[in-house]
Amino acid sequence: MDSEALRKYSALHPKPAGLTLQYGTAGFRSKAERLDHIVFRMGLLAALRSKAVTATIGIMVTASHNPEEDNGVKLVDPLGEMLHPSWEEYATQLANAEEQELQKVITEICQKAAVNLHKDASVFIGRDTRPSSKKLSQSVIDGIQVLGGQYHDYGLVTTPQLHYMVCCQNTQGQYGKATLEGYYEKLSKAFMELIKQSHCSGESQRHLKIDCANGIGALKLSEMKPYFPQELLIHIYNDGTKEKLNHLCGADFVKVHQKPPGGLDMKPNDRCCSFDGDADRIVYYYKDTAGHFHLIDGDKIATLISIFLKELLAKVKQNFKMAVVQTAYANGNSTRYLQETLQVPVHCVKTGVKHLHHKAQEFDVGVYFEANGHGTVLFSKAAETKIRQLVKEEKDNEKREAAQMLENMIDLINQTVGDAVSDMLAIEAILALKGLTVQQWDALYADLPNRLLKVQVADRRVIDTTDAERRALTPPGLQEKIDALVKKYKLSRAFVRPSGTEDVVRIYAEADTQENADALAHEVSLAVFHLAGGKGAPPQP
């Protein structure tokens, strides 16, 4: 390690006094002006991680659905998955080390993780469209170069595209070509092959209005447009030329406020969807003839995909194990529909993509979506091999056609991470193949009315949970109180969990009517306020 270079460059990216940040599910996020030293040090860490695993590592500069003034950075592991949890700790240590300790911390990480500094390092870099992202990715490059690493800067890409590139590179091209053209070609080819198999006489041209959150999704969709068949007509709104990123638009805004984004001209029964700022989440919605807004969130997306895959799996007659993975935030009626009507096993895990992804890997076909629209489908190596073999060798027409559709789904879905573009194409193909309108999709089940609240507390660590965050272990008496409140309402449930980032406790409640869901959420928030050290005035209904 060149101590002189480390000292020199570290001084160019000084750490503000007294600032500590924690690497979480979303990496680091903060106001952009506080991140220069962090991204420089994550360049160092990416080089170390690459040397440790002798593979290419990704580093993405984005703050996803946060306001434009914020930014962030996260690392991508060799198969396009999220950074290994033990390295999240190293990231936090490195980010918060004082300048004079930097070399010592790097040496400690090398010892703990058995990193050989003489090995080569290779890092792929991507960034979103925020004004601060270009300068920050330059600081990343400084970090990589201090440790003698090689890098490839992809410039402006969606987060899922960077995950895809990293996976392609480390599978020696088995997953695809590590270029944007490779990504566009693979997805569009699989999409076209799928809709070619559609025998329904529904609308021949499918119009879709897309709110791109004034972010990177707009740029990349425009680049991809020439690859789409004429059957799919996409209309891009909030393309970033006029308004600020994520301002009154994007998947997060639509999901939280349960209303259409600004900047999108929505007529009754138009099919619409929204990406978030870095295009790794998607939600659909429409307005009925009476003018009512209908949101189709991640739970309903998972349900549609599950229906389609379950039918195909039944036709190929292999004993593939399929399951859907959800979090406690999934609407109760989606869980009921999947388990009782579709007869698909459902597993509940802690909030956070890494928990969902990890659980989904246990099945031949694992579907996971968070209610916020982030999700994907994972196929086991064995299932994928078998499906591709059936396409080549199966004599029975029905079986072979089903296997072909499954093969195209495998190629269309970005299995590394939730991907708004890939998920959108999968949804559009399924709707076309099944001849479904967005209203018919929505009518699969009715969501139970629900309410999300948060309560400020002095210390969020007083709340400890179990059973995939559905029950509170501490403080004493809180869970008993919640149980008693839930008993008062029909079809109800409620849970509380500490925020991962701030001193607030998040509350979720659902019941048979909106009035009851609101009342239950309020009563639970009062219980949290009194038993878990609430700050300020008690919550008002």
Q: How far apart are CA 541 and CA 538, in angstroms?
A: 10
CB 459 within 8 A of CB 526: no
Q: Using CB atoms within 10 A of its CB, is residue 20 exposed (0-12), middle (13-18) or buried (19+)?
A: exposed
Say whether 223 counts as a known binding-site residue: no
Residue 64 is among the residues annotated as catalytic for this protein:
yes
For residue 113, how far is the Cα from the chain centroid? 28
The answer to whether 204 is a known ligand-binding residue is: no
Tell whether 500 is in a known binding site. yes
Per the structure block, which two tokens stand in for 363?
Answer: 């099945």
Question: In whole angstroms, what is the distance from residue 133 CA to residue 126 CA?
Answer: 9
482/397 Cα distance (integer angstroms):
55
CA dihedral (257, 232, 176, 170) in degrees, to 10, reads -10
Annotation-wise, does 498 bind a ligand? yes
The DSSP bridge pattern shows strands 493-498 and 150-156 to be: unpaired
- Separation of alpha carbons 368 and 364, rounded Å: 13
Q: How far is CA 460 from CA 77, 92, 471, 497, 507, in A?
A: 30, 19, 15, 9, 13
Please check if 506 is assigned to a binding site: yes
Q: 523 labelled as ligand-binding?
A: no
**Catalytic residue selected from 64, 188, 422, 525:** 64
Q: Is 143 annotated as a binding residue?
A: no
DSSP 534: B
What type of residue is 279? A
Evaluate whether 209 touches 200 at the Cβ level (below 8 Å).
no
| Per-residue burial over 234-260, b = 16 or more CB atoms within 10 Å of its CB, e = otherwise | bebbbbbeebbbbbbbbbbbbbeeeeb
Contact predicate 492/520, CB 8 Å: yes
Closest alpha carbon to 399 in 518, 328, 316: 316
Among 283, 198, 266, 281, residue whose Cα is nearest residue 232? 198
Is 70 annotated as belonging to a binding site? Answer: no
Q: Provide the 10 A C-beta neighbour count for residue 164.
A: 30
Measuring CA to CA, how many Å separate 367 from each of 93, 118, 395, 440, 540?
A: 34, 41, 29, 21, 39
* Residue 122 annotated as part of some ligand binding site: no
H or E element in which residue 135 lies: helix 133-146
Q: What is the rounded CA–CA span in Å between residue 113 and residue 48?
A: 9
Specify whether the CB–CB gap between 94 and 109 falls below 8 A: yes
276 is in an annotated binding site: yes
60: which strand partners?
74, 126
Is 371 marked as a binding-site residue? yes
Contact criterion met (CB below 8 Å) for 432 and 202: yes
**C-beta of residue 510 within 8 angstroms of C-beta of residue 329:** no
Which residues sit in the known binding site for Mg(2+)?
Answer: 64, 276, 278, 280
Binding residues for substrate: 370-372, 497-501, 506
Binding residue numbers: 64, 276, 278, 280, 370-372, 497-501, 506
Just list the catalytic residues. 64
